């Protein structure tokens, strides 16, 4: 038979209001709503090929064949689609990230969003975006947000069918991010592991959930007002509150490194000089600056003086997941 092929691109997203912890770890249903900005600078391209000539699934990441543990993880996700499509065909997955994997760049979000779209196309499922969001969430929670462009809210829900992302605002104002790529090293604590330890042991976890609800309401108002400074203030405080859960967990753990702290101080110093910028940090050491696009190049150059050997990447609001007509790898 002919091969069934699908290929897609999805962009990573940076959470401005974080989710940290799950009600259901199997279905990735979160403890709270979250809100993110899709980034145009970071993306994952994925191609899937189903064929009856394949004896087992195969998975390649940036050309490197992955080990059995990684293949099994991907296979379990593909099984969800095989059930929907009523097929037992095996599959080759080829994935290419424009950013390091497992280092806090949001690669799992873009990876599973791209894989979801590619599987949908290959198997001719013709699923709507909401269904794609639900399915992407099964691979990685934050992947449900990378289905959509701009500013996106992940609604917590209480079941597989009710937990999905929805577009909140197309971000047609000059908000942008500057990602400070301070480290590409793999995290010691995966997000999944870190969340569970925080939920189980941090004495401040209940307070975090209540605080996040207020943060979400506040940032929605700031977005409607197109107030980039206020958006940044809320996002920065929310990120620091999230990281306080890891510090107060048992055992405590940190996603920051020395450069993270140095970058935070650099942001504070620039703010003291009158520049309008704030930061957020996901589960990793890399800092993401939030600012007005009109100021981005100047802020980047000032930060570059402090970090001359690090990559600083400006990103505008990114598009939603899309099919790829050609495969250039």
Q: Is 152 helix (H, G, I), strand (E, B) or coil?
A: strand
Q: Is the pLDDT of residue 322 over 80?
A: yes
Predicted confidence at residue 187, as pLDDT, reads 78
Q: Is the pLDDT of residue 1 over 70?
A: no
Predicted confidence at residue 302, as pLDDT, reads 98
pLDDT digits (tens, 9 = 90+) for 256-309: 999 999 999 999 999 999 999 999 999 989 999 999 999 999 999 999 999 999
Q: What is the CATH number of domain 175-315?
A: 3.30.70.890
Residues 282, 16: Cα–Cα separation, whole Å: 9
Q: Is 5 helix (H, G, I), strand (E, B) or coil?
A: strand
Q: What is the dihedral of CA 195, 138, 35, 202, to 10 degrees?
A: -10
Predicted confidence at residue 133, as pLDDT, reads 99
| 180 Rama class: left (phi>0) / alpha (psi -120 to 50) / beta | beta
Q: Is the pLDDT of residue 104 over 90?
A: no
Q: Where are the domains of the chain?
A: 3-171, 175-315
Cβ–Cβ < 8 Å for 220, 35: yes
Predicted confidence at residue 128, as pLDDT, reads 98
Q: Side by side, which strands form the sheet with 311-315?
A: 278-281, 287-292, 175-181, 311-315
Domain 3-171: CATH architecture, name and number where available: 2-Layer Sandwich (3.30)
Residues 294, 279: Cα–Cα separation, whole Å: 17
Mind giving me the DSSP string for 14-78? EEEE----EEETTTTEESS-EEEEEEEEEEEEEEEEEETT-SS-EEEETTEEP-HHHHHHHHHHH
The whole-chain average pLDDT of the chain stands at 95
Tell me whether the CATH fold assigned to 3-171 matches the one assigned to 175-315: no
Q: Is the pLDDT of residue 224 over 60?
A: yes
């Amino acid at each position: 038979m002919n091969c069934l092929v699908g290929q897609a691109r999805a962009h990573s997203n940076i959470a401005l209001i974080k989710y940290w912890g799950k009600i259901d770890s199997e279905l990735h249903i979160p403890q709270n709503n979250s809100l993110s900005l899709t980034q145009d600078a970071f993306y994952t391209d994925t191609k899937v090929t189903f064929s009856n000539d394949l004896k087992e699934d195969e998975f390649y990441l940036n050309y490197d064949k992955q080990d059995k543990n990684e293949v099994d993880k991907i296979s379990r996700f593909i099984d969800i689609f095989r059930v929907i499509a009523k097929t037992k065909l095996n599959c080759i997955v080829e994935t290419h990230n424009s950013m390091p994997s497992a280092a806090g760049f949001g690669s799992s979000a873009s990876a599973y969003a791209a894989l979801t779209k590619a599987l949908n196309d290959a198997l001719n499922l013709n699923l709507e975006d909401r269904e794609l969001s639900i399915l992407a969430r099964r691979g990685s929670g934050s992947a449900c947000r990378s289905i959509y462009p701009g500013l996106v809210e992940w609604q917590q829900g209480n079941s597989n069918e009710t937990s999905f992302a929805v577009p909140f605002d197309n971000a047609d104002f000059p908000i942008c991010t500057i990602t400070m790529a301070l480290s590409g090293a793999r995290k010691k604590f995966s997000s999944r592991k870190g969340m569970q330890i925080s939920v189980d042991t941090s004495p401040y976890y209940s307070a975090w959930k209540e605080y996040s609800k207020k943060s979400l309401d506040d940032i929605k108002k700031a977005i409607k007002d197109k107030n980039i400074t206020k958006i940044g203030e809320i996002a920065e405080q929310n990120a620091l509150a999230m990281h306080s859960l890891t510090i107060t967990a048992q055992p405590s753990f940190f996603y920051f490194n020395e450069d993270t702290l140095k970058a935070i101080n650099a942001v504070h110093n620039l703010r003291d000089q009158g520049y309008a910028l704030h930061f957020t940090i996901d589960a990793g050491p890399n800092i993401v600056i939030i600012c007005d696009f009109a100021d981005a190049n100047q802020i980047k150059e000032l930060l570059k003086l402090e970090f001359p050997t690090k990559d600083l990447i400006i990103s505008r609001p990114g598009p939603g997941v899309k099919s790829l007509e050609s495969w250039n790898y």
